Chain A
Amino acid sequence: MAKKDLAAKHVPGIRAEDRWRLVRNIYDFFERDSQTAAVARILLSMLCVLVVWKIASLFVTNRLLLVPPEDVARALIGEVRRGAMWTNATATVTAVGSSFVVSVIVGVGIGLALASSRLLSLTGGPVLSALNSIPIIALAPLFIAWLGLGFASKFVLVLMVAVFPVVVTTEAGLRAADKQLIEAARSFNATATQIFTTVTFPFALPFIVSGIRVAWARALVGIVVAEFFGSFAGFGFAILSASQTFDTARVLGYVIVLGVMGLLGSVLLEALEHRLAPWRQE
């Protein structure tokens, strides 16, 4: 009793236990499994990054190496006002968007083919894993030599890096289908097509979506590299030209835009994955 009274005296108005409960409640809220909490967590982590960044910029005063967040924000606003943001966004988003969609379609197609034929999987598998393990990014100059500067070379480079995770997860997901579920479907006299549409494919879907998530992250790396090597517009081009004029604020600004694109894609696809396979979390 005496101890509690003593604690209460330190902070007039709020009793110690209430204060503790408030902290506990906030903590619980952030750990909760709801959408609001998920958004709050993202905002919290961004806030942490901003704070650390701001503090770092107080110590690193060379503005070629690091600029404070507000300078970056100002640079981004300037880019939007000048219209450069729009030009670059159009170039990057059309190339990465179209190539990403095609990678998903082609990736699922190849994955389906590999899962349906053992021979194809055994002969094509090594070729694919060899292609997957070489740094395709390093071939960027070659693609530009073949396809020229601009959309085509970007499209192909992104396709080459983004397609593999989809292929791998599609094949793995289709092969992972529960044998018990297949046997039950067969027991109910299901045709091969029905087994595919009611068991194998729904089972593989969350796997495929997780592959698509990886593909999106890779596609963003691919597009930036492609734009570094040869293009006249796009975020990668803007980053390269800004760094050549030592405009660190603009470099970081565009990197943040790319980061936001990556985060958005990842969050949306993760939500889709959870939606498709709610039984996996419990």
Chain B
Amino acid sequence: MSAPFRLRIENLDKTFTRPGKPPIDALRGIAMSIREGEFVSIVGASGSGKSTLLRIIDGLLPASAGAVYVDDQPVTGPGRDRAMAFQQDSLLPWKTVIENVAYGLRLGGTPRAKAHAVAQRFVDLTGLAGFENSYPHQLSGGMRQRVNIARALAVDPKILLLDEPFAALDAQTREIMQTELLRIWQESRKTVLLITHQIDEAVFLSEYVVVLSARPGTVRATIPVPISRPRSLDVKRQPEFLAIVDRIWKMIEAEVRASLTFSP
């Protein structure tokens, strides 16, 4: 018997209807499943609907057809079983780091003292100790993304959704944050689903990488990453790693090129 599926997506379609204009087929027939404790990434050219897919999983957008299940429970809206760390700054600028990390818990009705005690654990886990009373504008981009991840982890979700969490960071900081994310994942043993356009990031972090085609987004391939863990940044120079990155890149190259010349 294998481990049960934490997340299951069945025949999911998403169509955006626009008044007076033809509808946009964003996603078509998406099916995938993630086991408990796995780290999975979704890559695709811009316009492949990967961000839309993540929002449907989080419950922020409804699916047009098909369904998402978390532990066999269908997703009907945002819920405590999923938490998302967003792409950009989605931290409350008038709240301190500890208050931001405790935000999800406070919304769920956890009393302040208890929420802060839990938040402190995730502040420590994400390497933010000493910055509890700083405000987001006083932190670097990398630190702010740590807060974003800590805030999502603090509500103890069954699955952690990451929407291009390092997209706004410079290349060096991004690499450091990738190793940090691996460490955090290993210590918290969460199921993680990451969206990114950085192929090497996806391969470095994940057990397998789901490649989406251009619009309408469909699952083009699921590429396993049989590289042993724990992984250090040296992995990125191994031929095995480079071969996988190359394989994925070839799959979406034409679509990325198309998206450079034609933006929808």
- The chain A residues found within 8 Å of chain B, CB to CB, are 178, 180-181, 183-190, 194, 198-199, 202, 276-279, 282
* CB contact list, B130-183 vs A, under 8 A: 135-138, 155
A183 to B59, CA, bound (A): 11
Q: Is the CB of A198 within 8 A of B107?
A: yes
Q: Which of B79, B88, B89, B90 meets A189, CB within 8 Å?
A: B79
Knowing A276-B94, A278-B137, A279-B93, say if A184 contacts B107 (CB, 8 Å): no
Task: Tell me whether B78 is interfacial, beta carbon within 8 Å.
Answer: yes
Task: Tell me whether B97 is interfacial, beta carbon within 8 Å.
Answer: no
Q: Which of A181, A189, A276, A279 meets B107, CB within 8 Å?
A: A189
A271 to B108, CA, bound (A): 34
Q: Is the CB of B90 within 8 A of A181?
A: yes
Q: Is the CB of A188 within 8 A of B155?
A: yes
Knowing A189-B107, A189-B108, say if A279 contacts B86 (CB, 8 Å): no
Task: Tell me whether B103 is interfacial, beta carbon within 8 Å.
Answer: yes
A178 to B138, CA, bound (A): 19
Q: Is the CB of B94 within 8 A of A187?
A: no
Smallest CB-CB separation from B82: which chain A residue?
Answer: A187
Size class of the contact patch on chain B? 20 to 34
Most central of B58, B94, B135 by chain A CB within 10 Å: B94
Q: Which of B60, B78, B107, B137 meets A282, CB within 8 Å?
A: B137
A190 to B90, CA, bound (A): 14
Minimum CB–CB distance for A207 against chain B, Å: 13
Q: Is the CB of B94 within 8 A of A186?
A: no
Smallest CB-CB separation from B100: which chain A residue?
Answer: A184
Q: Which of A178, A188, A276, A277 meets B78, CB within 8 Å?
A: A188
Q: Is the CB of A188 within 8 A of B88?
A: no
**In the complex, number of A-B residue pairs with CB atoms less than 8 Å apart:** 56
Residues of A within 8 Å of B155, CB to CB, are 188
Knowing A186-B60, A189-B108, say if A202 contacts B89 (CB, 8 Å): no
Q: Is the CB of A188 within 8 A of B135?
A: no
Q: Is the CB of A185 within 8 A of B86?
A: no
A189 to B88, CA, bound (A): 19
Q: Is the CB of A188 within 8 A of B90?
A: no
Binary contact track B96-128/A, C-beta < 8 Å → 1, others 0? 000000011001100000000000000000000
- The chain B residues found within 8 Å of chain A, CB to CB, are 58-60, 77-80, 83-84, 86, 88-90, 92-94, 103-104, 107-108, 135-138, 155
A185 to B89, CA, bound (A): 13
Residues of A within 8 Å of B78, CB to CB, are 186-189
A276 to B89, CA, bound (A): 19
Smallest CB-CB separation from A202: which chain B residue?
Answer: B94
A158 to B43, CA, bound (A): 60
Residues of B within 8 Å of A202, CB to CB, are 92, 94
Residues of A within 8 Å of B103, CB to CB, are 188, 198
Smallest CB-CB separation from B106: which chain A residue?
Answer: A198
Q: Is the CB of B60 within 8 A of A279?
A: no
Q: Is the CB of A188 within 8 A of B94?
A: no
Q: Is the CB of A187 within 8 A of B58?
A: yes
A198 to B106, CA, bound (A): 10
Q: Which of A180, A190, A278 meets B86, CB within 8 Å?
A: A180
Most central of A189, A190, A198 by chain B CB within 10 Å: A189
Smallest CB-CB separation from B138: which chain A residue?
Answer: A282
Smallest CB-CB separation from B89: which chain A residue?
Answer: A180
Q: Is the CB of B108 within 8 A of A183?
A: no
Knowing A188-B107, A194-B107, A279-B136, say if A180 contacts B88 (CB, 8 Å): yes
Residues of A within 8 Å of B80, CB to CB, are 189
Residues of B within 8 Å of A279, CB to CB, are 93-94, 135-137
Minimum CB–CB distance for B48 against chain A, Å: 20
Residues of B within 8 Å of A185, CB to CB, are 107
Residues of B within 8 Å of A199, CB to CB, are 92
For the complex with contacts A187-B86, A189-B80, A277-B93, 19 further pairs of A-B residues with Cβ separation under 8 Å are A178-B90, A180-B86, A183-B86, A183-B90, A184-B84, A186-B78, A187-B59, A187-B83, A187-B84, A188-B78, A188-B104, A189-B108, A202-B92, A202-B94, A277-B94, A278-B135, A279-B135, A279-B137, A282-B138
Q: Is the CB of A187 within 8 A of B60?
A: yes
Residues of B within 8 Å of A181, CB to CB, are 90, 92
Residues of B within 8 Å of A282, CB to CB, are 137-138
Q: Is the CB of A184 within 8 A of B90?
A: yes
Residues of A within 8 Å of B77, CB to CB, are 189
Knowing A186-B60, A278-B137, say if A180 contacts B104 (CB, 8 Å): no
Smallest CB-CB separation from B94: which chain A residue?
Answer: A202
Minimum CB–CB distance for B254 against chain A, Å: 32
Residues of B within 8 Å of A189, CB to CB, are 77-80, 107-108
Minimum CB–CB distance for B82 against chain A, Å: 8
